[in-house]
Structure 1
Amino acid sequence: MAYAETTSVSVEKSEAEIKAMLRKAGATSLMSAEEPGNAVVAFEMQGRRILFRLPLPARDDKRFANDGRQRLRPADKRAAAWEQACRSRWRGLMLCIKAKLESVESGIETFETAFLAHVMLPDGSTVGDYAKPAIALAYETETMPPLLPAPRRQTEEAKER
């Protein structure tokens, strides 16, 4: 069973709880946004920008159309099932962030370690986005990427400066 699979806590309440929890922990510049299929929560804390992407189910996902007994659900029941899945996802995100903050507060790990995959890089991607392909490649090839990138070759123009 997925966490909070049957929760009645609204998306809006979960979102507000996340923001209140982050403010209490010292976060600044909070934001959240939604578009079909995705939500984001971002904040600044301890000199870092943190970005959580929350995949949301599509309204037309087939799992909402069927009632589990091979019968088609009416439109209102499909909408209710979709809303339930969204509420569950938001509760899961709240739990994830809460656990990371607790881990930091308890001294189990540092802020940077707890939130590392979600640290936003200057190009808008996250450390996790950057690291996942490198980790996959390291496992596939059984070789480690270089500790430092290869030195950049200077162009003739740069040498003249």
Structure 2
Amino acid sequence: MTTIDSRSYYTRGDSFSVGASREHIERALVGSGATEVRFSQRGHLNAIAFRADGRQFRIVLSLPQPRVSTAAGDELEQVSGRAATVKTQELNARRFWHAFALATDAKLAAAAAGVATLESEFLAHVVLPGNRTVIDELEPVIASAYRSGQRPTLTAAP
């Protein structure tokens, strides 16, 4: 029996640059009929916006941030520590974007096969009138329902 080393470059996504994964995501979205695909970044937040099936979608992603050590060391340790942090951030970003590309592929494949609709696969990210997404609107409602133990009341605004 052959085993796959989960630390291999391919399975970790290390061999895919952030740019290559983003290009893959854009090509996949456009290939599935999406238009106006845009990427933006502010700090550790990244957003992908696109239009498809008469809807606008916006996915906001927060890249994982490495833990910062506050321990004081000599200057050489601090420099090598910063270099290691930069390398770790790069590897984490590569893995993150590769995983997001795979997730996007899976969602688009489900929609293409008729297993789901594009809207149901990306429902949390549908932009509503007022420029908020479904998840922006529902997260506080869901949190409140869990706190209270009561089923939330969802009503359409007049």
Out of 119, 135, 160, the position equivalent to 2:142 is 135
Out of 4, 12, 23, the position equivalent to 1:5 is 12
Q: Is the 8 A contact 1:5 1:85 kept in 2?
A: no
> Percent of pairs identical after alignment?
33
Q: What is the aligned partner in structure 2 of residue 116 from structure 1?
A: 123
Q: Higher Cα Rg: structure 1 or 2? A: 1
Instruction: For structure 1, list consecutive stretches of 5 or more residues without a partner in the other structure.
Output: 66-70, 152-161
Aligned ranges 1:28-47 → 2 under 5 Å: 28-47=35-54
Q: Is the 8 A contact 1:54 1:89 kept in 2?
A: no
Q: What is the aligned partner in structure 1 of residue 68 from structure 2?
A: 62
Instruction: For structure 2, list consecutive stretches of 5 or more residues without a partner in the other structure.
Output: 1-5, 72-76
- Structure 2-normalised TM-score? 0.78
Question: Number of paired residues?
Answer: 144
Aligned ranges 1:11-160 → 2 under 5 Å: 11-58=18-65, 61-62=67-68, 74=80, 75-148=82-155
**Moved runs in structure 1, 4+ residues, more than 3 A?**
1-6
The separation in 2 between residues aligned to 1:136 and 1:4, in whole angstroms, is: 34
Q: Deviations over 1:35-66 (max 9, x none)?
A: 211111110000111111111234x6327x9x
Stretch moving more, 107-116 or 42-51: 107-116
Distance 1:87 1:4, change over 3 A: farther
